[in-house]
Amino acid sequence: MVFRAISEDRPGAKLAALFREYWPAWRRWWAREGLTARPTYRECRAALARHMPELLDLYDALCEEVGGGGDNAARFLSFWCPPPYLSGCSQAVWQGPLPLLVRNYDYAPAAFDGVILRTEFLDRPVMGMSDGLWGLLDGVNRAGLAVSLTFGGRKAVGEGFGVPLILRYVLQTCETTAEAIRALARIPCHMSYNVTVLDRSRHVATIYLAPDREPVITRSPVATNHQERVEWSSHARFTATVERERFLLNRLTMHPETETRFIEAFLRPPLYSTAFGQGFGTLYTAAYWPAEGRMHVVWPGLVWPHSFDDFHEGCRIVQLPDDTTTTWG
C-alpha cells in the first residue's frame, strides 16, 4: 500500500487533485444502493447548516473547488446519511506521564484512502488520517485535542452523519475533552461508533454514539468494537472485540510500561490483525501526543513521524503481510 502525507491550508489544487483521483471509487461506493437512496443536495446542506454550521462555508468551498459544483460530489462530501460500513479497530490511552492516544485501524485495503492530511481549515491546524477527502478516522489539532474512532458493533443504521466528518468538526471547533463531549452528544451519527477523546490536560472520555439511542459518555481509556455490551455476537466473535478490550485493560492496569512498549503492543496479536482478505486487517497504527502536537504512523519495522512544526509531505510504501487468513490472535 502507498501512504501519502499532504499539507494544504485551505481547499485548493492538492485536494482537488486528490478528489479527482479517488472520486470514481468513492462514487461507486456512495451510489451502490442507487443515487435515489442518498439524500438530495438540499437535504445534505440543510443538515450541515443545522448541526455543524461552522463548517458550512468550508463545505461550500470544497464543493466548488474540488467537486466542481457537481450535485453528486456535493452530496457525497456532506457525509449525510452515507451507505453503511464496518471496520474493526482498537484504541487506548496510555497511563504514563504524557497524554498519548494509540489506535489500530482495521479495514479493507481497497476501500482506504491512505492519506495523512494536514490542514488549517477555519484557521486551526489539524492533522490526521483522512477519509472521504475531509473526514478523519483519527487526528489531533493545534489546541491539543486528539480523537479516534472504532466501530461500535451494532447493526442499526439511521439518519445522521458519517462519523469521519463528526471527528473533523470536533477538531475544528473544540479545544478540550469537555467541549468535544458536548459536540459528540448532540450531532446525529448514522451508525454506532465509539469515539475516544484525549486533551492536553489528560482528560479522557469514550463516547458511544448510536443512531437509535442517546449517546453514552464514559471515562474509559479503551475502546474496541462493542459498546456497553456485545450486541452483534457473530461480529464480536470474528473480531475478538472482547478479548482485545480485556487485553488492553489488563495492559493498562497490570503492566506499567514505557510509551514505546505500549505502542509496540499494537503491532502484535491480539491487537494486530492480518485478516486483510476478510476486510479487517490492520492498515496502520497511529500514536498521538496532543500536548506536543505530534503524531506517529507506525507499521511493523517502520515509523513515520509528523508534527505541526515539522510536517513533511511525501509517501511511504508499506508491504502488507502475505497471510490473509489469520484474524486476531
Q: What's the confidence (pLDDT) of residue 329?
A: 28
Across the range 95-111, mean pLDDT stands at 95
Q: What's the confidence (pLDDT) of residue 55?
A: 98
Whether 278 has a pLDDT exceeding 90, the answer reads no
Helix (H, G, I), strand (E, B) or coil at 80: strand
> Residue 37 phi/psi, 5° resolution?
-75, -15
Q: What percent of the chain clears pLDDT 70, i.e. is strictly above it? A: 98
Reported confidence tier of residue 279, pLDDT bands at 50, 70, 90: confident
Across the range 32-46, mean pLDDT stands at 97
Across the range 247-272, mean pLDDT stands at 93
Q: What's the confidence (pLDDT) of residue 85?
A: 85
Residues 44-100: tens digit of each pLDDT: 999 999 999 999 999 999 999 998 889 999 999 999 999 998 888 999 999 999 999
Q: What's the confidence (pLDDT) of residue 256?
A: 78
Going across the sheet that includes 90-93, the strands are 222-223, 90-93, 101-107, 281-289, 294-299, 302-307
Residues 208-244: tens digit of each pLDDT: 999 999 999 999 999 999 999 999 999 999 999 999 9
Q: What's the confidence (pLDDT) of residue 269?
A: 95
Q: What's the confidence (pLDDT) of residue 325?
A: 37
> Residue 99 phi/psi, 5° resolution?
-60, 125
Q: What's the confidence (pLDDT) of residue 322?
A: 64
Q: What is the grid cell recorded at 307? A: 508534527
Q: What's the confidence (pLDDT) of residue 327?
A: 32
For the chain, the straight-line distance linking the first and the last C-alpha, in angstroms and rounded, comes to 23
User: Which is higher by pLDDT, 18 or 276?
Assistant: 18
Across the range 181-192, mean pLDDT stands at 98
Across the range 121-150, mean pLDDT stands at 98
Q: 306 with 115: CB under 8 angstroms?
A: no
Query: Under 8 Å CB-to-CB from 168, ≥6 apart: which residues?
Result: 55, 126, 134, 135, 136, 139
